[in-house]
Amino acid sequence: MQVQANILQGIDPDPITAYLSPEESMKTMVLPEGYHIQLVASEPMIKEPVAIAWDGNAKMYVAEMMTYMQDADATGEQEPTSRISLLEDTDNDGKMDKRSTFIDSLLLPRMIQCVNHELLVNETNTITMYSYKDTNGDGKADVKKLLYKNDKYELTDRNMEHQRSGLDWNLDNWMYITYDPVRFRYTNGKFMVDTLPSGTSGQWGVTHDNYGRLFFSSAGGENPVYGFQINPVYGRLDFPDQFKPEFQEVWPIIPTPDVQGGDKRLNPDRTLNHFTGCSGQSIYRGDALPKDLVGDYIVCEPVARLIRRAKVNNVKGKTTLENAYDRKEFLASSDMNFRPVNSATGPDGNLYIVDMHRGIIQQGNWTRPGSFLRKKIDSIGLAKNIGHGRIYRIVHDNYKPGAKPHLLDESSAKLVTYLGHPNGWWRDNAQKELIVRGDKSVIPALKQIVIKKNQGDEAGAALEKIHALWTLEGLNAIDKGSLLKAMKDENAQVRRTAIWISETYLKKNDAEMIKSAGQLKNDPDYDVRLQLLLSLHSSSSAAAKSLVKDIVENNEDVEIIAAGKSSLERNDIQRTYAKKFSNLKTTERNMIVAGAGIFKSLCASCHGPEGKGIPTAGSGMPAPPLVGSKRLAIAEKNTAIRILLHGLTGPVDGKTYPSVMPSMSANNDRWMASILSFIRYEMQPAGTKKDIAAIVRPEEVMKIRREDSARNKPWTLAELRNKAKGETASATTSRTP
């Protein structure tokens, strides 16, 4: 079926890897009728782009990873020579014509977020956040300010593909990232930090929709979308059937020789058969493309050289996704160097695509000499295609440019009028700018928006009210009256928003607010009921607990309600996680707790949050479960160390998985010891008593690292068994008189 569909799309059976100019590359891209691709910027203006962000005046910042995989050995990758460029379209024709290097000498910048006249930046191998500002208007940052640093999260996997990203300013005024169990709030020029007990999701990218729902993806877990059922502050919740098995199939128009895992990842026509490098997702929220695209999920797949568009559905409060097309993609290219890694709705209402445009897209851990990928890279010359990069925008027939935003120069009163703008970019940035300014003069106008009657476009009016409510919350000006009024609004999402924001009062066991919120326990909208369940959990009052009981009992046939309740309970358990190891010595406890943090931010994306694996829609698990693994037995310490150092390939306990376990040897010995200590202590085979012997010391990792220093490929289980037998025999011989 897929082969036939791909032939219909015009697959080039023998594509070339030669460099194509932007104009030539655009001719290789297939889009639905009426859609067109336009060039916004390209080399030499930008090189190796990975992320973009606009300030309130539509100036674009571009994060460029200048040292990423400049050859197959990742030579010089950790050199601090990357940059962030500032681009501007001075004549509003859609193409950037002015450039400056805003910041240079960076170590592979990962996250950027514009706040007023500042740019918030995070670099690789750290969770430290800095603010940069240009005070003299020359397009170059001249003020640098430390916003956040926490050594607890600095100990990280130095694999480029296993680190945090995002810094997405959500509707709720919190900025969310991937991997680390924290979220940030920017208030009065300082970062506030909140811990997410159950951790967060995702790998490269996080985005939100019109109502504050977050969407994550994981290339490591080969999962194009997850973590979208509830906000991570309430725990982790996914359903096996939130999308059908066929949703994970991809439909390239070009063979995919350079895929980790080799031939088993390919169809008979040599095209990729399943998502792998999913990243850079966004929800289209603009006003320049057809309305049926609004609210759709966009995710990049750079390995397959395509972009997926998915419809987002709501079934009794449960969110599901499905491909918008039958056996084809929103955008697909036959250019071997087309590497879409990010997407975003722009100030002009169009959809923007960041194309890293290069030969190698996988990080060095997967391209070592002798590996499947290395052979492909060398044989077809992928390593030579470096130093390029393009930013495109997708437009539709009859698109006409609108007004260029100047939000940074507008009055606060004018910004309030943009909270109802049809383009979500304008709404988000008006809300953010008002909050950062802290201008209390707009409070009466915001309250007036909340209480006014809807006229005409109910959905548009609802979005304006929702943004007004969250702006009041961000200004610390939310009041009972506004919330009580919003709880009675005819629009369900306005009611849901009011409940969400009312947690400020619910946590204080405010009787009036609990009573008013409780009147929505039988609301006709499932989203409202779910949010009420989640928000009431923050209250310790008897009245709130009674309401929660009623909601659960009255919705026994509503899957999302029962699942939401379970998620909250698991989240409570996670809050006390550190206390679980209180009986251990400080050194041992710190080692295991550090490992728990690494596991939940890194390993859980493939092995599941509890180490029990991740069931995916009909395609098996992306990686084997760890709980009860024979390799975690007390006596198998060296085996576990070897797997983490060099990886594991081949069947595991008779089952085959999509990809190999990669080497983690780029990390230091303490990092390795921490994650191994947690896994071995917590995930012993059933019936095994917790034993301090499970703890792995850094010096033990160092010893095995030295012994196996000549090894440059993953282990197989057969090799590990022979290695363990040899060590046992050697130890027995050494003890014989």
β-pairing verdict for 279-283 and 223-226? unpaired
In this predicted structure, what is the pLDDT of residue 104?
A: 97
Q: Please say if the pLDDT value at position 728 is more than 50.
A: yes
Instruction: Retrieve residue 11's tokens.
Output: 């697959």
CA dist 386 and 337 (Å) reads 9
In this predicted structure, what is the pLDDT of residue 610?
A: 78
- Mean pLDDT (whole number) for 467-487: 97
Contact partners, residue 721, CB within 8 Å, separation at least 6? none
Q: Please say if the pLDDT value at position 2 is more than 50.
A: no
The pLDDT tens digits for 230-256 are 999 999 899 999 999 999 999 999 999
Beta bridge partners, 310, equal 297, 323
The pLDDT tens digits for 344-359 are 999 999 999 999 999 9
Q: Please say if the pLDDT value at position 543 is more than 90.
A: yes
CA dist 282 and 343 (Å) reads 6
Q: Cis omega before residue 658 (within 30°)?
A: no
In the chain, the domains with their CATH numbers are: 2-396 (2.120.10.30), 479-575 (1.25.10), 578-735 (1.10.760.10)
> Which residue, 543, 547, 542, is CA-closest to 565?
547
Name residue, tokens 């990080």. Answer: 363
Contact partners, residue 583, CB within 8 Å, separation at least 6? none
The pLDDT tens digits for 366-377 are 899 988 899 999
Torsion angle of the four alpha carbons 722, 727, 728, 734, in this order, in degrees rounded to the nearest 10: 150
CA dist 264 and 12 (Å) reads 20
Q: What are the distances in angstroms from CA 721 to CA 14, 65, 392?
A: 42, 41, 51
Instruction: Retrieve residue 62's tokens.
Output: 């571009």
127 SS3 class: coil
CA dist 434 and 443 (Å) reads 10
Beta bridge partners, 351, equal 345, 394
Q: What is the mean pLDDT of the chain?
A: 90
Contact partners, residue 516, CB within 8 Å, separation at least 6? 484, 487
The pLDDT tens digits for 358-415 are 999 998 888 999 888 999 999 899 999 999 999 999 999 989 898 899 999 999 999 9
User: pTM of the entire structure?
Assistant: 0.83
Q: What are phi and psi of 175, to 5 degrees?
A: -100, 130
How many Cα atoms are found within 13 Å in the side-chain-facing hemisphere of 409?
5
DSSP sequence for 628-648? T-GGGSGGGHHHHHHHHHH-B
Which uninterrupted H or E stretch holds 191? strand 190-195
H helix intervals, 394-423: 412-417
Instruction: Retrieve residue 91's tokens.
Output: 């004549």
Which uninterrupted H or E stretch holds 608? none
* Range 217-249 burial, b when 16+ CB lie within 10 A, else e: bbbbbbbbbbbbbbbbbbbbbbbeebbeeebbb
Lowest-confidence region among 124-128, 188-192, 548-552, 581-585: 581-585
